[in-house]
Amino acid sequence: MIQPLLSTKGVSKCFGGLKAVDGVDFDVFPGEILGILGPNGAGKTVLFNLISGIYQPTAGKVYFHNDRIDGLPPHLVARKGIGRTFQIVRPFATLTVLQNLLVARGITRYGHLSKVWGSWGSQSEIKAAMEVLEKVGLTELAHRKAGLLPLGNLRRLEIARALVVGHTLLLLDESFSGLRHEEILHLEALIQKIRGDGRTVILIEHNMRVAMGLCERIVVLDHGQKIAEGPPSIIQQNEQVIEAYLGRKGITYAA
Amino acid sequence: MRLFIEQLLNGIAMGSIYALVTLGLALVYGIMRILHVAHAAVFTIGAYAGLFLFQLTGSLIVAFLGSMACCALLGVMIERFVYFPLMKYPPYVPLIGSIAVMLSIEEVCRLVAGPYILTFPAKLPFPDVYLGGIQISSTLIAVYSITAAVLLVLWYITTHTELGLAMRATSQDISISGAMGINSHVIITLTFVMGSAIAAIAGMLVGIYYNQVYPTMGTVPAYKTLALIVVGGLGSVPGAVIASMLLGTAETLLIGYANIPLPRDALAFIAMIGVLMWRSEGLLGSSR
């Protein structure tokens, strides 16, 4: 049997009396694209925050490569090889696109105070960053201030920033929201390409069509609990999922 | 003309000292969004520690280095024991904490060293310079050269080293930098170390320049630097330096020439209110 790359065992997070994530178990296997679906407030982003160390779980465990990573602060989770993007794009606005990537490239040195006094942007660093920019299609914009880019490019920048480090697992939080149709197509192709490089991707997605087309397996959350898990074709037929998405009765439109 | 040049030289020195104190405040604000009022008390401790070490060893170098180390430690302690636990509350809570720390340190100075003005009888190891009949005292030269060196080192660190890039990233977005593997706590600690060590230099320079060290010497700098970081554009380090230089020069020239029956600090604040009415986001601030 294949070892999972990441697995959560009964992770829960309470905010006061509210259980935002409630005993969620799931595994991600190397090289797959896993989708996390669910209506607004289902706990998807909280789950990402639990994995990436922004929140500490109230209960449960998170394993990455068989190491426990719950309770680690975000910078240590990142150094273990988990990259993430955020639902609201947050570039370092006053740095250039290239510098945004170079900041991320420092990840292997930030743990050693003696190594960060050297200058950033050696030739090899810049080369590695430019390669990633080419992959995501931002080469021409390398020297622009990131704060000036339109949304579609910012999403690419976020992914590039997560890619440039060579993370093995990428968590993408609603990377498709707010994009135009052709931008969606580009991004889908990019994610396929990233997976082709041997990385594993978990993505939170609101857009059913995108999620169904891209993911091999889908985990559906509702009210913090996992209500379904499986390949898209089965998820689409699942009564509970349809109910969670469409409401109990009478409501005939989807999100 | 000669008077004008002498006033100008004094004004630049004044501005340099303001800049050294304001720098720390701007750095801390940039990274933690806290108004670090107690920074002025770190400046006072810098003067006292420097004076004490100078009397003990007779060496200015030891005094400078020792005072910088002492203030760096004090700054880090303020961050660890006051700001860090208070960060989860609204920003006025750490601000009140900061004011409390500032007053406590002033009182400690008064209790330990007495409520008097102490003199700082340091003799600088180089002579005065005469340029075209104008005397530039060795103290002024020390102020200029040390400020220039500090600014240069700081500029180099922030723009050319990976640490500087990480600091800039952290000041823009702490949680994203975390996702990039940057340990924000280390960056915050280093920021306090740098800012506080620079404040120590400023404290000693003021002590030597005016030949005075006293417990409340940080009070006026406390509110003046606070206003200066606002005028410079909150969180903008270059803005803070420019605002400090302009203010130091302007207030010294005004005192020397205009016969206005207002104290120096009142003039300074009137000037700063004027700037803010003209540009509410500050000289180099961005409206965010």
| Cα–Cα distance measured from residue A57 to residue A21, given in angstroms and rounded to the nearest whole number | 9
Inform me whether the pLDDT recorded for A251 exceeds 70: no
**Residue of chain A minimizing CA distance to B176:** A90
* pLDDT per position as a tens digit, A184-193: 888 899 899 8
Give Cα separations from B209 to A172, B10, B120 (angstroms).
Answer: 57, 10, 9
Residue A205 pLDDT: 86
* Domain parsing of chain B, residue ranges: 2-218
Per CB-CB distance under 8 Å, the chain B contacts of A88 are none
| Cα–Cα distance measured from residue A47 to residue A23, given in angstroms and rounded to the nearest whole number | 11
Rg (CA), chain A: 19
* pLDDT per position as a tens digit, B165-192: 999 999 888 888 888 889 989 999 999 9
Give ipTM to 2 decimals.
0.78
Rounded to 10 deg, the angle between the B237-257 and B138-160 helix axes is 160
Residue B74 pLDDT: 97
Contact in structure between A30 and A66 (CB atoms under 8 Å):
no
Inform me whether the pLDDT recorded for A51 exceeds 70: yes
* pLDDT per position as a tens digit, A123-143: 888 888 899 899 888 999 999
- Give me the mean pLDDT over the A115-126 stretch: 79
What residues contact residue B174 under an 8 Å CB cut-off, 6+ apart? B31, B184
Give the range among A21-30, B49-58, B139-148, B278-287 with minimum mean pLDDT.
B278-287
Residue B288 pLDDT: 42
* pLDDT per position as a tens digit, B233-260: 887 889 999 999 999 998 888 877 777 7
Contact in structure between A16 and A209 (CB atoms under 8 Å):
no
Residue A254 pLDDT: 46
| Domains in chain A with CATH codes | 6-91+166-246 (3.40.50.300)
Q: Are strands A225-230 and B129-131 parallel, antiparallel or unpaired?
A: unpaired
- Give me the mean pLDDT over the B225-240 stretch: 88
Q: What is the mean pLDDT of chain A?
A: 86
- Give me the mean pLDDT over the B108-132 stretch: 89
- Give me the mean pLDDT over the B187-200 stretch: 95
Inform me whether the pLDDT recorded for B102 exceeds 80: yes
Residue A120 pLDDT: 76
Q: Among B166, B172, B176, whose Cβ lies nearest the Cβ of A116?
A: B166
Inform me whether the pLDDT recorded for A244 exceeds 80: no
E strands, chain A, in order: 6-15, 18-28, 33-37, 59-64, 67-68, 82-84, 169-173, 200-204, 217-222, 225-230
Rounded to 10 deg, the angle between the B39-57 and B60-78 helix axes is 150
| pLDDT band per the 50, 70, 90 thresholds, residue A253 | very low
Mutate to test the interface with A, among B84, B88, B176 (most CBs of A within 10 A): B176
Q: Among B161, B176, B186, whose Cβ lies nearest the Cβ of A90?
A: B176
| Cα–Cα distance measured from residue B176 to residue A171, given in angstroms and rounded to the nearest whole number | 13
Residue A255 pLDDT: 42
Hey, are the CB atoms on B178 and A73 less than 8 Å from each other?
Answer: yes
Inform me whether the pLDDT recorded for A118 exceeds 80: no
Hey, are the CB atoms on A92 and B181 less than 8 Å from each other?
Answer: no
- Give me the mean pLDDT over the A164-169 stretch: 83
Beta-carbon count within 10 A of B279 CB: 12
